[in-house]
Amino acid sequence: MATIVRSPAPVRGLAAGLAAGLIASFAMEQFQKIWAKAVPMPESGAPATVKAARKLSLATTGEPLAEADEKQAGNAVHYLFGAALGAAYGLIAEYRPAVTAGFGSGFGLATTTLVDELAVPAAGLGKAPTEVPAVSHAYTYASHLLFGGVVEGARRMLRGR
């Protein structure tokens, strides 16, 4: 049986990835709620998404984010960032299908390492990896492995592959 090779379709890949990123962000959020009920987690203050929303509010409006709006603003950052990551993944997958090997697990691991372990602390949105307990690393990596798998599954379904 011959394998059908499709030409890259960047707009379709981008759109499928964006939608897949939103779906995966929702799945990740649900997973994190279940994890938080099952596994005792150390108190770590406001999530990085809320801290990012606070910084964005100050940068764009010059005003601090109202405390009543923090949860919704943090959720918006979570979903927008997930959609952007998914869109980038979907676009890259059009040209480099090897990125999808492992059904998105490599993408999930790279996302955790580059974003949560490196960029978040560098931006002052979280603690350095050496200052975080092992259970927090497990939570982060498990969450993003799920994110990567759901992004890949949804992307494949939406792209019809």
pLDDT, residue 3, reads 57
According to DSSP, residue 46 is labeled: S
Q: Does any domain span residue 153?
A: yes
Identify whether the C-beta of residue 65 lies closer than 8 Å to the C-beta of residue 76. no
SS3 44: coil
The answer to whether residue 119 scores a pLDDT higher than 70 is yes
pLDDT, residue 6, reads 77
Q: Does any domain span residue 83?
A: yes
Identify whether the C-beta of residue 65 lies closer than 8 Å to the C-beta of residue 49. no
pTM here?
A: 0.91
The tens digit of pLDDT for each residue in 49-94 reads: 999 999 999 999 999 999 999 999 999 999 999 999 999 999 999 9
Domain range for residue 32? 19-38+74-159
By C-alpha distance, which of 150, 155, 158 is closest to 28? 150
Tokens describing residue 129: 């990896």
In whole angstroms, how far apart are CA 113 and each of 5, 13, 117, 119, 157? Answer: 32, 24, 5, 9, 27
Percent of the chain with pLDDT over 90: 91
pLDDT, residue 63, reads 94
The answer to whether residue 139 scores a pLDDT higher than 60 is yes
Tokens describing residue 86: 């998914």
pLDDT, residue 1, reads 56
Please tell me the distance from the alpha carbon of residue 105 to that of residue 108, in angstroms, as a whole number.
Answer: 5
Q: Does any domain span residue 147?
A: yes
The answer to whether residue 4 scores a pLDDT higher than 70 is no
By C-alpha distance, which of 27, 34, 32, 24 is closest to 104? 24
Q: Does any domain span residue 130?
A: yes
Q: Does any domain span residue 119?
A: yes
Please tell me the distance from the alpha carbon of residue 152 to that of residue 159, in angstroms, as a whole number.
Answer: 10
Q: Does any domain span residue 6?
A: no
Number of domains in the chain: 1
Q: Does any domain span residue 121?
A: yes
pLDDT, residue 160, reads 83
Please tell me the distance from the alpha carbon of residue 53 to that of residue 74, in angstroms, as a whole number.
Answer: 6
By C-alpha distance, which of 109, 106, 104, 114 is closest to 138? 109
Q: Does any domain span residue 2?
A: no
Rounded mean pLDDT of 8-14? Answer: 96
